[in-house]
Chain A
């Protein structure tokens, strides 16, 4: 299969060029080809000077210092040894020159994500690239950090670097780029000056048609369902501190926050896989930290985990057996096939084959299986943690619509998402999480984007 097919693209020095497209459209492959990490079968990439690439997932060595990461394999030497003083000075000069403040001696593992990104950027800048490729650079940045990040990138462009930003966030494309190229199914389908287009037009070009509308929100009488008082939990490095909130039956509560601010601990505490302190009262009964995941499932609490490939699916199994997972006992072996057909039909899983191996399905179809089996079990509370991560717009709209329908039917939904647009589109109430604490609460009518963005960044 070809990930990228017959693409022509030209980057100009001094310009921020946005490359947009759905997951699987070939953006990242194109960036990798331009960088030289992936070989193209045909065609050529020509660049004047060095090409730099900043990855979506940082490729830093956590246990090394900033200067060691920035100068990895290009360390200044004195005889056989590394000239540490010169190295430190070089990084200091580099960060001063680009206005990217960072301590050269800091251990990378101790740095917050925003600073790690600077390190990642400095590493590429040290090579003095004439072309800089940025793959989803703002995925883990707060709204305020995003603004300052693009200020830096804009400065770079003014100094004569050609910049390509691969992204799926259309608001950033409109706000910060000069030119935008849209890819779909491995091909370039449109190219505009950003000033001559709009987010809506770009979205239509990405999807290849109208963006599907979400299900309508019915007005439902809500009722108490989950009460959380003083919940503190820890799961791996994720820490939740003293959270108090409520999820009512018949409402979607969105938890807005930047990745890594305690969301995993929250989700895992509700799933029964992380220890917690505090009070969790669900439908009148007290949940205990010693509860097993099975007891949570039996009460009707269903979690759609963040990492579908490891936490939700058995990739080597077929669709049928994966649909049964979580209900393997209550359903009974004889009903696995019927349950699978139901989910396939209601969620438009492709291919519509219960015997297809899940690993071979696209991310969107895998996620449809996870969401489908969760909602098919008539849950009382759905905890959806990044339910549309990395899936195409059509599949995402379907998943969001089904969550709204579950809410209309009287389920309580806790939607934990890093995508503000997703929360604004679906939630009845918005809670803001930062540094493991709940720092704000907004009704649907009173949503204040700027205020929420500031709270997410930890500015109370």
Chain B
């Protein structure tokens, strides 16, 4: 499977997503005896009604944007990285644990926490990258399995050997104030949002305007031609997977440093999986992924308001997002498994 294949049906994908969101969403609401107009009204209002709600939507946007950008880098290189969830969790864990264990003063604290998350995510992405480069192991299986490993490993570490003072149960100790991200506009929104936007522009530039991006896209779009043009496919796979994991790991670190202020096992309600749909709806183009992140962020944040105000269970949103993932990613995963 080539990266070009992942990018083919962009328009059809958007139609599928709209049908699923509004069609299936309406049916689910009718089953809950709620008018879809009232239900979606509550959802939109809950996402955009007040300053606090807008901020929450953008927080959800940020949390999806990092892993989606990471996924896009791997996909563009022809690597079906569905391990963003694990990479994000590892990043969050490294950020939370190191931040609490080794408190650094002032300006150094936040960069260290974010760097720790980036590095941990990068390593977690590099493992399937190495397996692919050295042994031609299928990255779909490897990344999928490493998700489970990451979640169980971090749960074990925070409840067992690496338990920290000030923590209760399954979490790390609290981050010192210096290691927490500052909030914007007196809301829950932090400048992680700005960082994610800047990253999207930078990645777009890297993909389109650098030789590294050229070679990465060549490896993804036509691996056989790329190999014969002197591009080292193994090395490209390793770098792309590391970078992909690093970006997801950075996302995990921003959740810890921006909202939770500690790592706990409830860090992600599946951001790394939802981000697959976000990346595909965004046609693997960093700038369109920003747009797709806002749309999915809205669903995430508006769902709670919809439950409270219209009485529609917020699981309807999970249902819709799950169907979107199956519709967009399922076909491609199958194709990718067949091709290896």
In B207-229, the 8 Å CB interface with A consists of 209-211, 214-215, 217-218, 221-222, 224-229
A316, B221: Cβ atoms closer than 8 Å: yes
Asked, given contacts A316-B4, A329-B211, A333-B209, whether A292 binds B225 with beta carbons under 8 Å apart, the answer is no
Cβ-closest 8 pairs across A and B: A294-B230, A314-B222, A326-B229, A316-B4, A325-B229, A297-B230, A314-B221, A310-B224
B221, A317: Cβ atoms closer than 8 Å: yes
A311, B214: Cβ atoms closer than 8 Å: no
A313, B225: Cβ atoms closer than 8 Å: yes
Q: Is B45 an interface residue (CB 8 A)?
A: no
Q: Is B309 an interface residue (CB 8 A)?
A: no
* Bound Cα distance A326, B229 (Å): 4
B211, A328: Cβ atoms closer than 8 Å: yes
B232, A292: Cβ atoms closer than 8 Å: yes
Interface size classification for chain A = 20 to 34
Asked, given contacts A325-B218, A328-B215, A333-B209, whether A310 binds B225 with beta carbons under 8 Å apart, the answer is yes
How many Å from the CB of A358 to the closest CB on chain B? 10
Give every chain B residue within 8 A of A317 (Cβ-Cβ): 221
Give every chain B residue within 8 A of A433 (Cβ-Cβ): none
Give every chain B residue within 8 A of A311 (Cβ-Cβ): 224-225, 228
**Residues of B with Cβ closer than 8 Å to A?**
4, 209-211, 214-215, 217-218, 221-222, 224-232
Give every chain B residue within 8 A of A332 (Cβ-Cβ): 211
Q: Is A321 an interface residue (CB 8 A)?
A: yes
Name B's interface SS: helix
In A266-292, the 8 Å CB interface with B consists of 271, 273, 292
**Residues of A with Cβ closer than 8 Å to B?**
271, 273, 292-294, 297-298, 303, 305, 310-317, 321, 324-326, 328-329, 332-333
A273, B232: Cβ atoms closer than 8 Å: no
Asked, given contacts A316-B4, A333-B210, whether A326 binds B230 with beta carbons under 8 Å apart, the answer is yes
Residue in B218, B227, B232 whose CB lies within 8 Å of A314: B218
Give every chain B residue within 8 A of A325 (Cβ-Cβ): 218, 225-226, 229
How many Å from the CB of B8 to the closest CB on chain A? 9
Give every chain A residue within 8 A of B225 (Cβ-Cβ): 310-314, 325
Give every chain B residue within 8 A of A315 (Cβ-Cβ): 4, 222
Give every chain B residue within 8 A of A313 (Cβ-Cβ): 222, 225
* Bound Cα distance A118, B230 (Å): 41
- Give A321's nearest chain B residue, CB to CB: B214
* Bound Cα distance A271, B231 (Å): 13
* Bound Cα distance A329, B225 (Å): 15
* Bound Cα distance A316, B228 (Å): 17
**A/B interface sample: 7 pairs, CB < 8 A:** A311-B228, A316-B4, A321-B214, A324-B214, A325-B225, A328-B215, A333-B214
